[in-house]
Structure 1
Amino acid sequence: MISQNTSCVLWRFVLTITIVIFFIPKISCAKQFKLMGLNMNMIDRCWRPNPKWRSQRQQIATCSIGYVGKMTNNIGNDLIQYEVTDPNDDPINPKLGTLRYGASVIQNKVWITFQKDMNIRLIKPLLISSFTTIDGRGVNVHIANNACLMIFKATNIIIHSIRIHHCKAQASGMVMGPNGKVIHLGPVDGDAIRLVTASKIWIDHNTLNNCEDGLLDVTRGSSNVTISNNWFREQDKVMLLGHDDGYVRDKNMKVTVVYNHFGPNCNQRMPRIRHGYAHVANNLYLGWMQYAIGGSMGPSLKSEANLFIAPKGGSKEVTWRKNGQINGDKWEFHSVRDAFENGASFAVTNGGRVQKPNYSKEEDFKVVDVKSVRSLTRSSGVLQCSKTSLC
């Protein structure tokens, strides 16, 4: 026979187990979420802790930093919600439900989401209209194996959480333009994303790899661009800032490159800067073959609190300068609070004059200590969002 005291102890034990089962997971989940938030970078901390992010997607427009400023022009009462339901593509007569219809035909503010996981093979480059957001959060969207994305004479565009890879060069032909009208487009290289005379462009949390030419080109007078939280991998030429050495309009280019993960198997151009100014901060460089950051003509670069991990073999030097110009009057390559592993080194410009980004209040952000770079870039690339609430 069980005594009264023993019975009381058993009931207490059962009650304790019940409390653990029903309440501790909630406490642990909340604590875990709080800790995760502490390890997030400034952009992610702005929206990812919100469990209602799916119904409040436009919150992210207030989270951008760097030269793009805030993307509040992409939201408002006049915003059109558009869902992609059809992965097919018609470059001249886009059908309702396809990505091209939402990105090129609609001329108002449009926020594009995807009904389900999709593999989209574009027949011709996708020319994105101004005030367009392509938001792939919560599903697995690939744009791959043919033409890819072009931002041509457009402004206020967000590209978020898309896998773009195996992009191929395209012959000239007719295509729906960013103004909703069919235009003739000349031949294009096989870039994942190419900016041509574009402004206020935010490219965040995408995974880009294995393209014929480069992964990201910012060219022909494009400016006010922020490239953040992306994963660039498996690529020879990664990122080009500037059309060509003779295109002097690119002197006004301003680009922020922050919280990105470069590698494995990236060779060069992370980025290569022809003209203009780039603030490269809190990025992780997992090796390179030729160089990590290069330039030609008169670029200005502030490399700040990046982690450069040199490859076991090949070049240990982070920088490259066309024609070996290391200390020319036009060069401004500065390293501030960077960290170097495996023998990596950075050839800085003599004189010590470190040009500041001169951000406005809405563009400004705090560059954190390089010791935190590994954790701040851990979620770079397309986010693995749960089917419930977390992202």
Structure 2
Amino acid sequence: MISKCIQMASCRLALVLTIVITMLTLSSPVLASSSGKVLNVIDECWRLNPKWHRNRQELAKCSIGYAGKMTRNVGPDVTEYVVTDPSDDAMNPKPGTLRYAMTNVGGKKWVTFERDMKIKLQRPLLVSSFTTIDGRGASIHIAGGACLLLQRVTDVIIHGLRIHDCLAQGPGPVRGPDAKIVNIGHADGDAIRMLSSSKIWIDHNTLYDCPDGLIDVTRGSTDVTISNNWFRYQNKVMLLGHDDGFLRDRNMKVTVVFNYFGPNCHQRMPRVRFGYAHVVNNLYQGWGLYAIGGSMNPSVKSQANLFIAPKTGNKEVVWNKNSGDTSSNLWSVNDIFENGASFNQQRPNNAVAKPNYNQEQQFEVADAISVRPLTKTSGALRCSKRSTC
């Protein structure tokens, strides 16, 4: 049968197409659902289930990268808290508000929202340990005031929020976890700021238009995964590592995966000081100064990303403060460069530091040719409780 088919031009074409499709499928871990959605390895873990809202805690098992599986955020001892009131009082939080969940609800908590709402925070919101803020099923905007602060906490999931137009805040007191008064320093207006925190997963959020940065991972924070987010209209996007003198950040490990950068992102996607960053399967829709930057000799593995250079201006992906140092550790592996983009510090695969993930952190990297569909639904999803997301 095969031999007869090969004699026919149409059959030969069909065989070639079959072989090509099979090879692409084997080389790229991409899942197309019955609805036609192309999903990455995180999303295929939960988005195909039309009853996702009946067991929201399944999300915690879907994380990858340095955050690992967020299994300490789930269990029968989790308090399910529904935000019903978008108001905020930084010192005397009302029941039903987001701040009340962070200050007056102890132990593990899974926070959801009754309806669409815009929350204008009076002061930075101190997120407590073992907390999931889950915006699925509603359109949640945290905007026009202070934003999120993760300070000396662990096991936190931030999912499905729209955080934008944050404002800088002066130092002063705020009600924190366990209803304690906490005096916090000046806040520059970052959307999500991490200080001395670990095991943090930031997934499927839309972040833009903040006066400083969108995400900061600083002061010894580590084991962080930043995935499926949409970053846009921002000068400084993401800072990993506090400053050139903070040596504790040498232990920092961050995975940046399946994110969409653009339009109008200028720099720091991310900028890395010290530590290790695995930047993988992200889409870059242009940049201003640069896309990925480094100082204090970090190790940055840029792997299977799609870099689309701006039409005019700088086409170079990388900025490296230590560019004259032969020990520079910013490497490109299997990235795709379009519109004249270039990466001036490519090295052979065997010279690239590995992320050395453990079993619960590891994942299969998709081919860069798949990045467009894998990042198509980055950002906060509009999920219906009657269908898949």
Whether these two folds match at TM > 0.5 is yes
Query: Distance in 2 between the 1:173 and 1:304 partners?
Result: 42
Q: Which amino acid aligns with 1:67?
A: Y
Q: Is the 8 A contact 2:51 2:385 kept in 1?
A: no
Matched residue, 2:360: 362
Matched residue, 1:187: 186
Q: Which amino acid aligns with 1:373?
A: V
Matched residue, 1:334: 331
Query: Distance in 2 between the 1:196 and 1:116 partners?
Result: 31
Q: Residues 350, 326 of structure 1: CA spacing in aligned structure 2 closer, same or farther, 3 A cutoff?
A: farther
Matched residue, 1:152: 151
Q: Residues 282, 350 of structure 1: CA spacing in aligned structure 2 closer, same or farther, 3 A cutoff?
A: closer
Answering whether residue 201 of structure 2 is matched by residue 202 of structure 1, we say: yes
TM-score by length of structure 1 reads 0.89
Q: Is the 8 A contact 1:143 1:164 kept in 2?
A: yes
Q: CA deviation at 1:233?
A: 0.3
Query: How big is each residue's C-alpha offset from its partner over 1:94-149, in whole Å with a ceiling of 9 and x where there is no partner?
Result: 11100011123322100000000000000000000000000000100000011000
Aligned residues: 358
Q: CA deviation at 1:321?
A: 1.1
Matched residue, 1:343: 340
Q: CA deviation at 1:179?
A: 4.1
Q: Is the 8 A contact 2:102 2:176 kept in 1?
A: no
Query: Distance in 1 between the 2:284 and 2:121 partners?
Result: 31
What are the residue-to-residue correspondences of 1:23-34 with 2, within 5 Å?
33-34=33-34
Q: Is the 8 A contact 1:327 1:349 kept in 2?
A: no
Q: CA deviation at 1:45?
A: 0.1
Q: Which amino acid aligns with 1:34?
A: S
Q: Which amino acid aligns with 1:114?
A: F
Q: CA deviation at 1:35?
A: 5.0
Matched residue, 2:86: 87
Q: Residues 350, 390 of structure 1: CA spacing in aligned structure 2 closer, same or farther, 3 A cutoff?
A: closer
Matched residue, 1:385: 383
Aligned residue for 1:59, secondary structure, equals helix
Matched residue, 1:110: 109
Q: CA deviation at 1:387?
A: 4.9
Q: CA deviation at 1:386?
A: 2.7
Aligned residue for 1:257, secondary structure, equals strand
Root mean square deviation of aligned Cα: 1.4
Query: Distance in 2 between the 1:207 and 1:381 partners?
Result: 4
Query: Distance in 2 between the 1:210 and 1:187 partners?
Result: 19
Query: Distance in 2 between the 1:388 and 1:112 partners?
Result: 20
Answering whether residue 310 of structure 2 is matched by residue 311 of structure 1, we say: yes
Answering whether residue 58 of structure 2 is matched by residue 46 of structure 1, we say: no
Q: Is the 8 A contact 1:326 1:347 kept in 2?
A: no
Runs of 4+ that moved beyond 4 A: 349-352
What are the residue-to-residue correspondences of 1:204-219 with 2, within 5 Å?
204-219=203-218
Query: How big is each residue's C-alpha offset from its partner over 1:264-305, in whole Å with a ceiling of 9 and x where there is no partner?
Result: 000000000011000000000000010000011111000000
Query: How big is each residue's C-alpha offset from its partner over 1:205-237, in whole Å with a ceiling of 9 and x where there is no partner?
Result: 000000010000000000000000000000000
Query: Distance in 2 between the 1:257 and 1:104 partners?
Result: 30
Q: Is the 8 A contact 1:156 1:201 kept in 2?
A: yes
Query: Distance in 1 between the 2:193 and 2:337 partners?
Result: 31
Q: CA deviation at 1:327?
A: 4.9
What are the residue-to-residue correspondences of 1:157-172 with 2, within 5 Å?
157-172=156-171
**Could you tell which deviates more after superposition, 169-178 or 269-278?**
169-178
Matched residue, 1:9: none
Q: Which amino acid aligns with 2:115?
A: K
Aligned residue for 1:107, secondary structure, equals coil
Q: Is the 8 A contact 1:299 1:330 kept in 2?
A: no
The correspondence for 2:372, drawn from 342, 349, 374, is 374
Query: Distance in 1 between the 2:35 and 2:306 partners?
Result: 23
**Could you tell which deviates more after superposition, 347-356 or 336-345?**
347-356
TM-score by length of structure 2 reads 0.90
Q: Which amino acid aligns with 2:143?
A: A
Matched residue, 1:66: 65
Query: Distance in 1 between the 2:369 and 2:334 partners?
Result: 10
Q: Which structure has the larger Rg?
A: 1
Matched residue, 1:21: none
Query: Distance in 2 between the 1:362 and 1:35 partners?
Result: 29
Q: Which amino acid aligns with 1:91?
A: A
Q: Residues 49, 349 of structure 1: CA spacing in aligned structure 2 closer, same or farther, 3 A cutoff?
A: closer
Identity score, percent: 61
Aligned residue for 1:308, secondary structure, equals strand
Q: Residues 113, 316 of structure 1: CA spacing in aligned structure 2 closer, same or farther, 3 A cutoff?
A: same
Q: CA deviation at 1:350?
A: 5.7
Q: Which amino acid aligns with 1:278?
A: A
Q: Residues 350, 229 of structure 1: CA spacing in aligned structure 2 closer, same or farther, 3 A cutoff?
A: closer
Query: How big is each residue's C-alpha offset from its partner over 1:61-113, in whole Å with a ceiling of 9 and x where there is no partner?
Result: 00000000000100001010000000000111111100011123322100000
Q: CA deviation at 1:389?
A: 1.9
Query: How big is each residue's C-alpha offset from its partner over 1:188-213, in whole Å with a ceiling of 9 and x where there is no partner?
Result: 11100000000000000000000010
Structure with bigger RCO (C-alpha 8 Å, 6+ apart): 2
Q: CA deviation at 1:372?
A: 0.5
Q: Is the 8 A contact 1:214 1:239 kept in 2?
A: yes
Query: Distance in 1 between the 2:305 and 2:347 partners?
Result: 20
| Structure 1 stretches lacking a partner, 5+ long | 1-31
Q: Which amino acid aligns with 1:113?
A: T
Query: Distance in 2 between the 1:326 and 1:87 partners?
Result: 48
Q: CA deviation at 1:326?
A: 2.0
